Amino acid sequence: MKTSFRNDYGRFAHPQILDAIARYGEELNDPYGLDRHSEAAAEEIKRTFGCPDASVFFLMGGTSANLAFLSYALRPYEAVLCCDSAHINVHETGAIEGSGHKVLTVNGIDGKPTIEALEKALRAHTDEHMVLPRALYISNATETGTIYKKMELLKLRDFCRENGLYFYIDGARLGTALTAKHNDVLPEELGSLCDAFYVGGGKNGLGIGEAVVLVNPELQRHFRYHIKNRGAMLAKGYLLGIEFEEGFRNGLYFELARHANEMAEEVDHVLQKYRYEPEPFESNQLFCTFPHPLAAALIEEFGCEKWSVQDNATTIRFVTSYATTLEDIAALDSFLRTR
């Protein structure tokens, strides 16, 4: 399979990142993330996201980042709020609970917890016989590719401040969120919109790694002890430093994300051209419903994931990435033309 719409992490890294790895691959570096590349990358990230006093740590994956942060921010009896479709609730094999904390779900719309649902959850947690909600987790882009508008983030931030919750953003797909057509959040505003977030590298062509950014000064002390305790400190942290330094030095990170979003629009055009009706989408994930046989054929040919099954139709997911090409789009076009 050369063309794939299966996911955005099927290829290791963009050539420019591969070049950087090759360039520094034999260079002598300080271990455990204390090297010059990690430092430079951290500076770029703090500058980019407008949080000069933040602390930045490079971890090896999204579950590892969420686990490290939440188990650090919460006391044993405290819980994290999120919407029911949240990655930490569904797709991390109980990693947050494995660190001792309840994941407290509320109903979500478009993959986002509503203020009403959050308020209801807080009202229901009245005393020491129930967990104490202490953090709010969202992801931007969400699990289904929707994105947050600035006003939504501001409301959630204010809600968190008023209710003593840390506001944490899972940015596994932060790149495509911030470069989406309808996005109105400037990267340099993000730092002041939350207490902590992570910048996803792995799903945006940077190789392996995510950059955890701790903005709130309450949340910075001894974090290096914590990630070591969680088994998440990399001896060769400089690999991630090299990747993120290259990714952020010259705008590559957002360029790759923008490309992924544009390719999603191309997929949309092709589908519409053949009278299929993809659901409204906002970033690099796109859902569309087909008759069972065609869905099966698309899954077979393009690696799409089966999302849900109805009586007469199947909904599948298309994911584009930094690596999606116009040839991939053309392959989809010619495949659908013959159906």
Q: Shortest distance, CB of residue 193 to a copy of itself, whole angstroms?
A: 25
Residue 131 found at the interface with a copy of itself (CB under 8 A)? yes
How many alpha carbons lie under 13 Å from residue 38 in its C-beta half-sphere?
24
CB of 56 to a copy of itself, least distance (A): 16
- SS3 label, residue 124: helix
Listed ranges 61-69, 147-155, 265-273, 281-289: which one lies at the site for a copy of itself (CB under 8 A): 61-69
- Binds a copy of itself by CB under 8 A, chosen from 52, 162, 182, 231: 231
Pairwise CA distance, residues 201 & 199, whole Å: 6
**Site size toward a copy of itself, by CB under 8 A:** 74
Of 264, 187, 244, the residue nearest 5 (C-alpha): 264
What are the φ/ψ torsions at residue 229 (nearest 5 degrees)?
A: -60, -35
**Which residue stretch of 73-81, 108-116, 158-166, 173-181 sits at the interface with a copy of itself (rule: CB under 8 A)?**
73-81
Site for a copy of itself, residues 75 to 104, rule: CB under 8 A: 75-77, 79, 90-95, 97-103
For a copy of itself, the closer CB: 193 or 252: 252
Q: What is the dihedral of CA 7, 11, 17, 22, to 10 degrees?
A: 160
Q: From the list 72, 148, 248, 290, which residue makes contact with a copy of itself (rule: CB under 8 A)?
A: 72
Tell me which stretch binds a copy of itself (CB under 8 A): 15-23, 107-115, 162-170, 257-265.
15-23
Is the preceding peptide bond at 141 cis, omega within 30 degrees of 0? Answer: yes
> Is-contact 338 25, C-beta < 8 A?
no
Segment interacting with a copy of itself, rule: CB under 8 A, options 47-55, 68-76, 189-197, 272-280: 68-76
Q: Nearest Cα to 284, choosing from 142, 149, 156?
A: 142
Contacts for 125-132: CB closer than 8 Å, 24+ residues apart: 128/77, 131/77, 131/78, 131/79, 131/102, 131/104, 132/75, 132/77, 132/78, 132/79
Q: How many CB atoms lie within 10 A of CB 96?
A: 25
Residue 26: Cβ-neighbour burial (10 angstroms; 0-12, 13-18, 19+): exposed
Nearer to a copy of itself, 141 or 193 (CB): 141
- By beta-carbon proximity to a copy of itself, the closer residue of 94 and 291 is 94
The two beta strands, 132-139 and 78-83, are parallel
Provide the minimum distance between the beta carbon of 94 and a copy of itself in the complex, in angstroms, as a whole number. Answer: 4
Q: Which stretch binds a copy of itself (CB under 8 A): 12-20, 181-189, 251-259, 284-292?
A: 12-20
Instruction: Tell me if 15 contacts a copy of itself by CB under 8 A.
Output: yes
Between 193 and 329, name the residue whose CB sits nearer to a copy of itself: 329
Q: Does 222 bind a copy of itself (CB under 8 A)?
A: yes
Residue with smaller CB distance to a copy of itself, 174 or 185: 174
